[in-house]
Amino acid sequence: MSAKSLMLLRNTFFSALGVILASYGVMVLASGRPDPFWPLAPALAGVITALVVSLGVWLAGRKTAAVAFDEYSRHEWHSSLRLGFWVAIWLYPLFAVLLVNNIVDYPQAFAAMGTLAAATPFLSFFAKWVGGRI
Amino acid sequence: MAKLYNTLKQHRARLSLTQAELAEKVEVSRKTINTIENRVFVPSALLALKIARALQTSVHDIFSLEDDG
């Protein structure tokens, strides 16, 4: 597997994971249920992504993987993680307001906050990919 | 605030190297070379040294500080 293929694989699975996680979080809020679809789907998507990307790295070999995960791509991933950190922090006051006003209940808040916080770095990476930055 | 200026494109052209060829020499992606060249990304000292070695020159010849006041 070439570095280009490995980057494509990583970007595709990271993007898909971001979309799945965000969809779950948004659907929790839209449907008013903590399980708008199969509740293990977000976790399973995460595990599949980790396995597929790890397999890709193994098939590509250490040297090729180092090119795919080079300094610039790590820099961009870290920037996505920083955004994810701040979004996760700001979800607390946001959901506090929603809980106090009985717009969501605790099971919904738990499900939505977890998936939305997890989705952010992957969606950010997806946006960078679509924008041609990675 | 000082910004990092570079003459990567000129040095690459001197050796008739494409971005992809230089990327292969320094074991990074073409995107990385492109973003350095366009001053989007500031490389680490290690990567700057690798680029300089691949271009058969010194880091000082490629990178310099550009003060914008």
Q: Which residue of A has its CA nearest to B29?
A: A67
Mean pLDDT across chain A: 97
Q: Which residue type is seen at A53?
A: V
Averaged pLDDT for residues A5-18: 98
The model carries a pTM of 0.90
Enter the ipTM: 0.88
Residue B66 carries which side chain, given as an amino acid letter? E
Rounded Cα distance between A56 and A78, Å, is 21
Q: Binning pLDDT at 50, 70 and 90, where does residue A13 land?
A: very high
The predicted structure's pLDDT at residue A93 = 98
**How many Å lie between the alpha carbon of B59 and the closest alpha carbon of chain A?**
18
pLDDT given for residue B68 in this prediction: 58
Round to whole Å and give the CA distance between B18 and B20. Answer: 5
| CATH number of the structural domain spanning residue B13 | 1.10.260.40
Q: Which domain holds residue B61?
A: 2-67
User: How large a percentage of chain A has pLDDT more than 70?
Assistant: 100
Nearest CA in chain B to A68: B29
pLDDT of residue A85: 98
What is the SS3 assignment for B42?
coil
Q: What is the pLDDT of residues B1-59, one digit of tens each?
A: 788 999 999 999 999 999 999 999 999 999 999 999 999 999 999 999 999 999 999 99
The two structure tokens encoding residue A121? 């770095």
Enumerate chain B positions whose Cβ falls within 8 A of a Cβ in A: 23, 27-29, 31-32, 35-36, 40-41, 43-44, 47
Which of B19, B21, B24, B29 would best serve as a mutation to test chain A binding (most A beta carbons within 10 A)?
Answer: B29
Residue B3 forms beta bridges with which residues? B66
Residues of chain B neighbouring A4 (CB-CB closer than 8 A): 29
Domains of chain B: total: 1
